[in-house]
Structure 1
Amino acid sequence: MHGVSDSSRDTVEGAGWNAAERGEYRRLLPGRVEKLSWLNPRTLWAARNGVVASWFGDPTGRTRERWVAQRAAAGAPADKVVRRAEGDRFSFMVLGDTGEGDESQYAVVPGFLKVSRDTSFAVIASDVIYPVGRTDDYGTKFFRPYQDYPAPVYAVPGNHDWYEDLGGFMRVFCDDAPPLEPEPAPRALSGAWWRTLLWHRPRPADEAALTEARKLRSAPGQQAVQPGPYWAIDAGPVRIVGIDTGLLGTLDAEQGAWLREVSRGPRPKILITGSPLYVDGEHHPCAIEGGGTVDDVVRDPAHRYVAAIGGDIHNYQRYPVDVDGRVVQYVVSGGGGAFMHATHTIPRVSVANVTERDFRCYPLRGDSLAFYGRLYGRRLRLPRFFALTEAEAMAVVAERLGVPPVRHPAGPVRVTRRMRLVASLLGAGRRPER
């Protein structure tokens, strides 16, 4: 007798429905868990730097150059390549957008530890720490949840890690890098002056707490030092290239020149980025200051990229794109611990010759719609109106997209006007022509 499939494409159990009890992750939680809410004005105000940068100019490129120069002066390799002694066959983990520090993060830790057995290292792709990358948050949002992962963890920062000028990230991942020296005050009433006036600045770190937190991942096999916020890792036959897309999802000219240089050569490559290049059915090639895009580098056949994996969006998506006869896997890997972004809002996929037949996402759109229907039903106190079973949600999504259901229900499902209205109110995707 065959066991029940653990794939959400096959069974409701594989999608996580009908679970009788919560997972074992609860024993991993700290004694006091601060629930992160993006509806809290204090959280939004602390995370304001992205908006300020879009209004008055983005200082990320200049700050990044200063961090890189500091690390170079401290002895980091000029090519920013970490060379690991791996064999021809090895595996590593990628998880993105991890650091909320509440149940949404800890719930995926047991699964991560199970799947990651015998992996050589892990890479966090974007947003290691929410909401603003504070040094003091690394204890409960990085060291504690991953204390039982026996191998090193590398990372590329996301926009939230930049909300305190990357100070916490550089201390934890880049050899305890000291703070940057203050820059001269800008000219009064200039854009930079207004930006400085409104900028969220880091608080002093609790050094004793950070020292204690580091003890949770103090085993020799867990240690790693990366040369800066962007880097490459040579491991076995592959080169893994990690880039830092800063606050607004772009690369400065210096990093762009490094990316082009480190991408040369016959070794197959995997890109890790804080901003995915294909997401929600759209192409976001990621501009490089001075001209060109990150995707130009990935698509160049001489560079031999086989995949480009990005965080930032909190779910899983995969687009196998044919690039002049070779397939590059463009992946969104942002379901590593933050709240799950909806997938039911993704329209029918038709981008770069990738169609619904090739596209994959998790959660499935129908499961996403059913979950958000229950969520908004509770919040608006209209549970009977918004509630959709997973089979109903799967059916109405299939109707709106004009495709067969991904997971077939046990019996027939009639799509009603209420179901269509709920799907519309919750922003379910449609065919492009509708």
Structure 2
Amino acid sequence: MGSTTDVIAAPAPSPARPPRRPPGRRMVSWLDPLMLARTGVRAAISATIGKQADRRLLDALAAPEVEPCDFSVDAAGKSRKELWLDYVADLGDGWDSTYAVAQTVARPTLTVTDETGTSYETHGGEVLVFGGDEVYPTASVKAYDERTLQPWTAAMRGQRPPPHLFAVPGNHDWYDGLVSFIRLFCQGRSPAGWQTHQRRSYFAVKLPHGWWLIGTDMQLESDIDQPQVCYFQEIAKLMREEDRVILCLAEPAWLVAQVRPPDHRSYLENNLSFLEDQVLGKKVSVFLAGDLHHYRRHANDEGRQKIIAGGGGAFLHPTHVPRKEAPLAEGFTARKCFPSAKESRRACWRNLGLVTSNPRFGVLTGLLYMLLAWALAVNIGSASVTGAVGLVVGTALASPGITIISALVILGLIGFADSRFGRWRWLVGLLHGLVHLTAAFLIAWGVAHLMSSAVGLSFRNPVRDLISAVLIFAGGFLAGPTIMGLYLLISLNGFGAHPNEAFSSLAIPDWKNFIRLRIAPDGRLWLFPIGLRRVPRSWKPGETARDPEWVPDPRDRRATPPALIEPPLVL
């Protein structure tokens, strides 16, 4: 062992330069071929096995109690006069977006201003609700830890006491059969210091002044299973006639059929009506849902609210679909969206730079274009475009390889075309495929023409072949994503098709939002919709123990502070 003198005399290590960005993950790249394949397999397995082994039935047997969590009284048993809650949905994607929301929620107090300049002081919720899709792209213990727990743990450090946590599962939480979700949120654990109470994937919480918070699980086949029905029927017996309900759903049943393909979950509204009329026996005052990654509110003349607030950290979804919204039941009409339809339409133009946000998709198209060029295997460099076309057609007719590859490309893109195109879907996919094939031919012709005229090498020369392959790959790397981006731009802004693909491909981290709720001493419910127009991109370590682990770098001048999306709603 070294002496004390040796230890003292040892030179102190030079302080490491503090990182300007935490060691986190980027936004999910939804056009990454490998990621899409893995997610597709997990989704297929979940759908297939889940139909035969509904995890909710097993959990109901393991946790038969139906007593709701009672937050109408405090720890001393005294009636609460006031309670603050936070609702955050669709989180666990990129670090910047997820952490920016978490840090805002974690503040003990937050002063926000609405469009009129009026300021309101809000308090961090004692109850925190995760409204669905707590992690992307698929659920696992590792994914939850890296994409959800780590940013939220860092955000809560040095702030207010950890809140009581309740969680609603979304379809991405179901991709491992709900195993990781149950382990994290339903077994009495304390992830990130939170206090969890629910023992099933749905819950009921009694709140002050006759308010109730209900969280459902309708993901599997979009149904409400019998044990869940029995659970909420028992909860309904505890409600008084004048009590009011805040209902948390994984998907907005009132709008999902209009923004998803026509056959997508059209029966969600039937389940919702059944829950209101036959199970709870009363109309819901406030509906809260995620799944669509933006803020959108509908209301009727009775003051009932249907709010989509899926801005907890996932990529942005467009708000300019549906192009013309069909009337909603019970007189609900659109009141506010964030971002606006105009801003959403403008953001769609980013698809023209798709290669920058999805470079791995460019690798796929580069390889595909190179494969098509090799399948031609003709010297078209010295021919004109017209002559080259003749050579290509002749080669295609004589070569089953090029015919099969071309047919697969076209059939794949016909299958990719949105069902919103209706009977024109096959034509849209055919034209999309022909544009890619034409681009591959033009790139191959251009490279061959360049090599034959500018390089003094014979056609069979290996060096020439290698250079040609690299150039064709580079052309496909740039042209393929650009054509796809143009297709998505025209489809969405022109025809209202491909809203999910056109915006998931962009992985926009901005336009985040969450709902802060306050049950006031007079029994009224205040809803504060809080938005972050642009989240920080640069961070620095917190300087004191009272700071969160990371704070925004003041040099990131484009980041915007949290503000009210619209004036508070009072019920």
TM class by smaller structure: 0.5 to 0.7
Q: CA, structure 1 residues 249+363, in 2 after alignment: closer, same or farther (shift >3 Å)? A: farther
* Cα distance in 2 between the residues matched to 1:230 and 1:294: 15
Q: CA RMSD, aligned part only? A: 3.3
Q: Which amino acid aligns with 1:426?
A: L
DSSP-derived class of the 1:144 partner:
helix
Deviations 1:333-377 (A, max 9, x none): 211110011111233333236576x4321111111111121x112
The aligned residue for residue 328 of structure 2 is 351
Q: Any gaps of 5 or more consecutive residues in structure 1?
A: 1-25, 73-77, 178-212, 382-420
Q: Residues 25-424 of structure 1: matches in 2 within 5 Å? A: 30-48=22-40, 49-52=42-45, 56=48, 58-59=50-51, 62-72=54-64, 78-84=65-71, 85=73, 87-114=80-107, 115=110, 117-147=123-153, 148=156, 150-175=162-187, 214=191, 217-218=192-193, 222-237=194-209, 238-264=211-237, 265-266=239-240, 267-279=243-255, 282=258, 287=268, 293-298=271-276, 302-321=281-300, 326-349=302-325, 350-352=327-329, 354=331, 358-373=334-349, 375-379=350-354
* Cα distance in 2 between the residues matched to 1:272 and 1:282: 20
Contact 2:245 2:286 in 1 (8 A): yes
TM-score of the aligned structures, taking structure 2 as reference length = 0.49
Q: CA, structure 1 residues 371+113, in 2 after alignment: closer, same or farther (shift >3 Å)? A: farther
Give, in angstroms, the shift of residue 140 of structure 1: 2.6
* Cα distance in 2 between the residues matched to 1:422 and 1:43: 20
* Cα distance in 2 between the residues matched to 1:35 and 1:80: 39
Q: CA, structure 1 residues 29+278, in 2 after alignment: closer, same or farther (shift >3 Å)? A: farther
* Cα distance in 2 between the residues matched to 1:155 and 1:243: 9
Deviations 1:251-291 (A, max 9, x none): 22221333344235222111111121222684977559xxx
Q: CA, structure 1 residues 30+423, in 2 after alignment: closer, same or farther (shift >3 Å)? A: closer
Q: Which amino acid aligns with 2:195?
A: Q
Q: Which amino acid aligns with 1:269?
A: V
DSSP-derived class of the 2:138 partner:
coil
Contact 2:288 2:308 in 1 (8 A): yes
Number of equivalenced pairs = 312
Give, in angstroms, the shift of residue 243 of structure 1: 0.5
Aligned with 1:427 (options 478, 493, 499): 493
DSSP-derived class of the 2:288 partner:
strand
Q: Which amino acid aligns with 2:354?
A: R
Q: CA, structure 1 residues 281+63, in 2 after alignment: closer, same or farther (shift >3 Å)? A: closer
More helix by share: 2
Q: CA, structure 1 residues 309+32, in 2 after alignment: closer, same or farther (shift >3 Å)? A: closer
Q: CA, structure 1 residues 136+29, in 2 after alignment: closer, same or farther (shift >3 Å)? A: farther
Q: Which amino acid aligns with 2:493?
A: G
Give, in angstroms, the shift of residue 327 of structure 1: 3.5
* Cα distance in 2 between the residues matched to 1:129 and 1:287: 23
Contact 1:313 1:333 in 2 (8 A): yes
Q: CA, structure 1 residues 90+65, in 2 after alignment: closer, same or farther (shift >3 Å)? A: same
* Cα distance in 2 between the residues matched to 1:113 and 1:161: 23
Give, in angstroms, the shift of residue 89 of structure 1: 2.4
Which shows bigger deviation, 80-89 or 274-283? 274-283
The aligned residue for residue 535 of structure 2 is none
Contact 2:98 2:313 in 1 (8 A): yes
Q: CA, structure 1 residues 110+135, in 2 after alignment: closer, same or farther (shift >3 Å)? A: same
Q: CA, structure 1 residues 347+240, in 2 after alignment: closer, same or farther (shift >3 Å)? A: same
Deviations 1:50-107 (A, max 9, x none): 44565x57427722111222234xxxxx115212235232220111111114333223
Give, in angstroms, the shift of residue 241 of structure 1: 0.6
Q: Which amino acid aligns with 1:156?
A: V
DSSP-derived class of the 1:175 partner:
coil
* Cα distance in 2 between the residues matched to 1:80 and 1:134: 29
Q: Which amino acid aligns with 1:141?
A: R
Q: CA, structure 1 residues 140+58, in 2 after alignment: closer, same or farther (shift >3 Å)? A: closer
* Cα distance in 2 between the residues matched to 1:162 and 1:83: 28
* Cα distance in 1 between the residues matched to 2:284 and 2:329: 17
* Cα distance in 1 between the residues matched to 2:20 and 2:181: 23
Q: Any gaps of 5 or more consecutive residues in structure 2?
A: 1-17, 75-79, 111-121, 260-264, 357-486, 497-571
Q: Which amino acid aligns with 2:197?
A: V
Contact 1:67 1:228 in 2 (8 A): yes
Contact 1:47 1:131 in 2 (8 A): yes
Q: CA, structure 1 residues 47+282, in 2 after alignment: closer, same or farther (shift >3 Å)? A: same
Deviations 1:217-272 (A, max 9, x none): 23xxx322212111101121211010112244322222133334423522211111
DSSP-derived class of the 1:319 partner:
strand
Select the structure of larger CA radius of gyration: 2
Contact 1:47 1:160 in 2 (8 A): no
The aligned residue for residue 186 of structure 1 is none
